[in-house]
Chains A and B, each alone.
Chain A
């Protein structure tokens, strides 16, 4: 689960970067408190062991202090602009390392330092004698510190960076981090002591349970990722809601405007057929814009999509009679062909229902000619046929005028070696065929 790349998305990474700042600060404060607690246990140490105990506490103390400074940009700024070159260098390192999946100074000091502290209570040469509560409290503090540090490691934002994913080896090692840390702590606890020294005043159950508890970091991280996944899903659902609302708003605005425009151009007798067609085309574009917003990107340019959009130009009570051939629905078109079909189809369908047709049958096909002599496949033809049961038109009459809509379409399709042909159907009605050579680009 922890090597699952599905969480390596922009949204999850953005969430992770945002939670890191407060969590790092809380974590550094918590581990600082653990270190203070360990210092407070020293008065119970034998006087002869105090110098050694204090010395062994220094590294982890430096580590938690550094981690705390790391969360304070203003302190880092002061250090970086200070007089002492080593401090300036350290501040520079802490700043640079903060945002990378790398072992930085504070991490190393804390990690190694806590093992050194553990060696005061367990390991081959522990300090003895110590009161039993001191052992238990010390082990609790050490485990709590390790939990905090490793939880930070396991939930670091760099695991979710989609642009710079962590190294594969690190990803594979991630599920084994808790077990490895637990193994180190248990190895120190269970390591043989120098002969004659009491191994552990409270017995082995408590230290083994505490050390073993570090393995629970694995389910902890899994639960954490379940929450991240839930956040991602909630974000997707919210995005969908926003898209739906926006698409309704934009669609409604454009559609109302387009209807007003269509009414105006239809009422104006001086307006040409091309203008009327383009006004009708606004409804198709409005529907496409709606679908694009809903999908969060341009939908696949299939005939089915185009047909759904074209139906928007037809009055609701006439749509039942408009039928797209089933084989045409999933035909995927090249962008130019789709654009041409988007220009052609609304005109042909509108002409049909305006001429009184009750049923309009539409089919779109790719026709592949035989390969030429040089073996190369010629470009396919795109054919859009619109059959209706209307009163029928005199053959080629619609193409006879200088600026009829079919004539204009015919001119457009000439650019692609195409044409529009209108003919009477044998059983009544009209068939209009628009055909062009599929555009390669």
Chain B
């Protein structure tokens, strides 16, 4: 199997090279998603079977979403596995987006042992998607969902979180402002739109909190229900602001504009959704 590692840290590639030592697998590393078109063009005659894609490439560099989009466009036959650090607090929305817009086979923690990494790579090589960190095929869900299955089951939450371009603009404003009027002014919408946004998105954040209670970012965000209307609205806006600040890297990612725009356009045209949905 030809494996592509898209990670800004060369040590990850060197470690993986040791993991696959003695196997027929080969490994090529790319440090920056922007280099992917060039790398894929050079290896066009021998496409990659598997790409291990990091999420975060540091400030000012496109994220793993861009990497996956390029892979999907230029090398659709390459299977994708996302690699991420468990400790990254802001990764939840990136992971949901990865499973919403693309079809990664699974998730590999950078904290995995060499044996676990090897097991995962071998499983993909065999076409067996039932291993740890991988998707199970439809119809074989067990009662206890794996982290990957939980992500896939909840990709709809991302659609609820960002329903249209205005939502995206509002989320970006909420990263920087936590007063109703300021959010409205910075987003060029009226306050009622902000109110509707607060009400709807607080509900979605509640759902995310319920589905991913272990997510570190959610611990900072208590829910406000028993306060008078105006106070509750403000408290919930502050709560959304904290959520947005935790995920500011996601909301600032230019890749999501393009990905969501294509998704909405496809939905308007009545076309198929960009990824499978299964329960």
Contact = CB atoms under 8 A, between A and B. Distances in A.
Interface of A: 10, 13-14, 17-18, 20-21, 73, 76-77, 80, 92, 95-96, 98-100, 157, 164, 278, 281, 297-298, 334-336, 339-340, 342-343, 412, 415, 439-441
Q: Interface centre among A14, A98, A297, by most B CB within 10 Å?
A: A98
Given A17-B185, A21-B181, A21-B185, A98 B190 contact: yes
Interface residues on B, range: 35 or more
A336 B31 contact: yes
Contact of A21 (B9, B59, B179): B179
A439 B42 CA distance: 13
A441 B38 contact: yes
A278 B176 CA distance: 39
B60 A297 contact: yes
Contact of A95 (B59, B60, B187, B190): B190
Contact of B188 (A100, A281, A297): A100
B54 interface: no
A77 B185 contact: no
16 contacts: A10-B176, A14-B177, A14-B186, A21-B179, A21-B181, A95-B191, A98-B190, A99-B189, A335-B8, A336-B29, A343-B11, A440-B39, A441-B31, A441-B32, A441-B38, A441-B39
Contacts of A278: 11
Contact of A92 (B27, B39, B42, B190): B190
Interface in B166-195: 176-177, 179-182, 184-192
B158 to A, nearest CB: 23
Contacts of B9: 339
A157 B185 contact: yes
Nearest to B14: A412
Main secondary structure of the interface of A (DSSP, over half): helix
A20 B185 CA distance: 9
B58 interface: yes
A98 B31 contact: no
A153 to B, nearest CB: 15
A98 B185 contact: yes
B186 A439 contact: no
Contacts of B180: 73
Contacts of B35: 440-441
B111 interface: no
A17 B186 contact: yes
B13 to A, nearest CB: 8
Given A21-B179, A335-B8, A335-B31, A99 B60 contact: no
B10 interface: yes
Nearest to B188: A99
A99 B176 contact: no
Interface of B: 8-11, 13-14, 17, 27, 29-32, 35-36, 38-39, 42, 58-60, 176-177, 179-182, 184-192
A298 B155 CA distance: 32
A77 B191 contact: yes
B177 A343 contact: no
A26 to B, nearest CB: 14
Contact of A298 (B10, B14, B60, B179): B60
A278 B29 CA distance: 20
A187 to B, nearest CB: 34
B181 A441 contact: no
Contact of B59 (A13, A20, A297, A339): A297
Given A17-B182, A73-B180, A340 B190 contact: no
Contacts of B42: 440
Q: Which 3 A-B pairs have the closest CB atoms?
A: A339-B10, A95-B190, A335-B31
Contacts of A440: 35, 38-39, 42
A95 B186 CA distance: 13
A335 B190 contact: no
Contacts of B176: 10, 14
A95 B190 CA distance: 5
A21 B179 CA distance: 10
B10 A73 contact: no
Nearest to A94: B190
Given A95-B190, A278-B11, 12 more contacts: A17-B186, A18-B177, A96-B190, A99-B187, A297-B59, A298-B59, A336-B10, A336-B29, A336-B31, A340-B10, A343-B10, A441-B38
A77 B10 contact: no
A255 to B, nearest CB: 19
B191 A76 contact: yes
B32 A99 contact: no
Contacts of A20: 185
B166 to A, nearest CB: 12
A395 B254 CA distance: 54
Contacts of A77: 191-192
Contacts of A335: 8, 10, 31-32
A164 B186 CA distance: 10
B181 A73 contact: yes
A230 B194 CA distance: 32
Nearest to A157: B185
A332 to B, nearest CB: 14
B245 to A, nearest CB: 13
Nearest to A281: B11
A18 B59 contact: no
Contacts of A14: 176-177, 186
Nearest to A96: B190
Contacts of B186: 13-14, 17, 99
A112 to B, nearest CB: 25
Contacts of B188: 99-100, 164
Q: Which of A80, A298, A334, A335 counts the most B-chain CB atoms under 10 A from its CB?
A: A335
Nearest to B195: A77
Nearest to B39: A441
A300 B93 CA distance: 30
Contacts of B38: 440-441
